[in-house]
Amino acid sequence: MGIEIIFPPYIANNKETLLQRIQFSFSPLNEMFRSMHVLNNPKHHGIHLPWVIEAKKNLTNDMQKDLQYFNLCFELGVPPTLLPGIYKSVFTIEEEIELLAKKLTVKNARKILHELTLVFEHRENRFIPSLAKGIEWTDFAFSNKSDILEDLKRRPTFVFHRLLNFLTDYYQTIFSAIWEDLKSELLNEIVEQTTLLKTKGFSAFIASLSSERIYWIDNKNKLYLHKPFKTIYQMKSDESIIFMPSYFVWPHFFVDEIKEGVVIVYDSSVARKQAFPEQPIEKMVDIYRALGEPSRLQILRILQERSLTTQSLAQICHLSEGAVSRHLQVLKKANLVTSKKDGKYVLYKSQKNIIQILSKLIMEATVT
């Protein structure tokens, strides 16, 4: 099961036309709303736990009440109506809050009520979390119900005024401390992904996001996103897919229909690297195994100072050449030493400052 976004053949089969239908968007409010979801579900967002611990130290009682009251706005995604940055270029929280204030009118209250009612229905059916498999909704828990839907029907102006005040307070008290760094990371993500899209093509761009959860099926002209339900969206000739990176959205991704096409909020490369470090467990085991032998540590220390051959190391360490050769192979496999051919000799050298780094780590780990 999943979401299928089907492209018209003449768009999918023309590289230039296809690229014109792919856009990127930047929404400070999107990131702020996603961080609220994380605050309400810290167990579900392990990589963000250090931030949650610090953020909760500054949460006031009023903000905690507002997090519960507005939880439908971010619990199972964020309604696009609350993210004017999708439609218009903004670079600051203040700009987007100002745009949002202009949209929060009695005239638009019915649309916002409709979007939040859909979220509420999914919530009451426990729709997404009960069907989802694996990492995306593990340990997710619903927040307590709030009165926001009834208030939107009876007194929307009150709801909108409370929301704008909450967003301003939350930004100043909680979010401003991390926003500038996040902003830089997200803008860099957009630049890098745009470059990849233009140089390597759409398939390469999609593959860089998450091969297990989103992928391009070239021979069927469709983008497939793994979800615990089935939805088919047939793109029109004048519609686009807007990609919006987010640090706090991990481990989710969200898809929303808008007037201009489809918005896909995906986890940024920074979040993915924190969740899945480039150094795999197997590689770490190789390193720890390589360091767990006194002779190999001695070899590393010696090679820190100068490049040597197997024969020279054997003489210095009082080991056989065969033993030194085996130790060097273990160290090479762990990328702790490198080799370079110099005429008829092979010289070995340890990675720069590896012994100093190890010594510092050991000292820090043993300090009580």
> pLDDT value at position 366?
59
Q: State the alpha helices, DSSP H only, in 201-320.
A: 202-209, 269-275, 281-291, 294-305, 310-317
Q: Domain containing 323: what range?
A: 281-366
Among candidate residues 225, 249, 275, the one where a domain is terminated: 275
Sheet strands (E) in 124-239: 214-217, 222-226, 231-234
Same domain flag for 320 and 226: no
CATH of the domain at 299: 1.10.10.10
Same domain flag for 336 and 200: no
pLDDT digits (tens, 9 = 90+) for 202-220: 888 998 886 577 888 877 8
> pLDDT value at position 133?
43
Same domain flag for 79 and 128: yes
> pLDDT value at position 126?
46
pLDDT digits (tens, 9 = 90+) for 81-103: 999 999 888 989 999 999 999 99
Q: What is the largest CA-CA distance in the chain?
A: 88
Same domain flag for 256 and 300: no
Same domain flag for 198 and 222: yes
- Say if pTM beats, i.e. exceeds, 0.85: no
Residues 6+ apart with CB under 8 A from 110: none
Count of domains observed in the chain: 2
Among candidate residues 254, 275, 296, the one where a domain is terminated: 275
Listed as ranges, residues in the chain with pLDDT below 70 are: 122-145, 210-211, 272, 274-283, 352-353, 355-368
Residues 6+ apart with CB under 8 A from 172: none
Same domain flag for 285 and 269: no
> pLDDT value at position 364?
60
